[in-house]
């Protein structure tokens, strides 16, 4: 099984890893697209005012332009540790035992805007770029990434993909139609049986769910196998009316 996660706008600073090596990231066929986006971010960073407008940064966020300027020189940390925010706070990857972190490294890709999907343990620097940013010097990110990422996902050899990305990042690389996959919607169920989608708890539940997977490290090769594992692990995962998986929380 391959798990796809969204990134987070909130990122931890610093790092102790070697500078970014695009050739060492997961899905190496994406290197040409990665080179184009990184180069465009570096070029944009040469003009702070323009960069602030394009990236929609306030006065207190302008320091993030320097992060983009230093993408190739800054120290890195594992992607799953770089991102913070609700989902990653629930995942708490830094507190996982070594075997669970290895499972993340083997089974989880985090879909970033500048690098495409990267392995959970791939070293990346801090950066500022969102999925919807119109970045000068390159095509629209959706047009740049979508076909290349879809092809790269199809070449992973995965038998099943669990797609936990937001719609904006899923658009940057749809899972191939012929690769079995499921999208997850987090919902709650009222006493009257009515189902309601969640927002904040959507991210929290997805992070906690991936943490549970990493701790248990089940062998899952299909949607049915994931449903069986979830039921045994105390999670309510089911197919909803729209066809997507519903992760039901209370």
Indicate if the pLDDT at residue 171 is higher than 70.
yes
Pick the more confident residue, 249 or 5. 5
Q: Maximum distance among all alpha carbons in the chain? A: 57
Q: What is the pLDDT of residue 223?
A: 95
> Per the confidence metrics, is the pTM higher than 0.75?
yes
| Cα–Cα distance measured from residue 137 to residue 84, given in angstroms and rounded to the nearest whole number | 29
Answer for the pair 182, 245: CB distance below 8 angstroms, yes or no: yes
Average pLDDT over residues 190-215: 82
How is the chain split into domains, by residue range?
2-248
- Statement: residue 190 has pLDDT above 70: no
pLDDT at residue 240 in the model: 82
Mean of the per-residue pLDDT values of the chain = 94
Structure confidence at residue 72 (pLDDT): 97
What pLDDT is stored for residue 157 in this prediction? 96
Cα–Cα distance between 156 and 150 in angstroms, integer? 10
Range with lowest mean pLDDT among 24-33, 155-164, 191-200: 191-200
What confidence category does residue 188 fall into, taking pLDDT thresholds of 50, 70 and 90?
confident
- Looking at the predicted structure, is the pLDDT value of residue 197 above 90? no
CA atoms within 13 A on the CB side of 81: 18
Mean pLDDT of 228-250: 89
């Amino acid at each position: 099984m391959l798990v796809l996660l969204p990134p987070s706008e909130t990122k931890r600073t610093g790092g102790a890893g070697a500078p970014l090596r695009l050739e060492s990231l997961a899905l190496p066929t994406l290197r040409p697209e990665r080179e184009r986006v990184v180069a465009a971010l570096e070029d944009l960073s040469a003009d702070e005012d323009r960069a602030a407008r394009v990236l929609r940064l306030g006065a207190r966020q302008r320091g993030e332009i320097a992060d983009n300027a230093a993408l190739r020189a800054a120290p890195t940390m594992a992607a799953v540790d770089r991102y913070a925010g609700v989902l990653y706070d629930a995942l708490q990857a830094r507190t996982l035992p070594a075997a669970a972190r290895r499972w993340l490294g083997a089974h989880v890709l985090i879909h970033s805007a500048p690098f495409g999907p990267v392995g959970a343990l791939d070293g990346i620097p801090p950066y500022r770029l969102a999925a919807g940013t119109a970045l000068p010097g390159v095509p629209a990110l959706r047009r740049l990434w979508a076909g290349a990422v879809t092809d790269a996902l199809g070449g992973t050899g995965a038998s099943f993909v669990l797609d936990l990305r937001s719609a904006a990042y899923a658009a940057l690389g749809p899972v191939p139609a012929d690769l079995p996959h499921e999208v997850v919607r987090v919902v709650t169920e009222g006493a009257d049986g009515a189902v309601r989608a969640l927002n904040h708890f959507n991210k929290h539940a997805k992070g906690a769910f991936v943490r549970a997977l990493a701790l248990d490290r089940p062998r899952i090769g299909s949607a049915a196998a994931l449903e069986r594992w979830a039921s045994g692990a105390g999670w309510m995962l089911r197919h909803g009316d729209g066809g997507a998986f519903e992760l039901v929380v209370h």
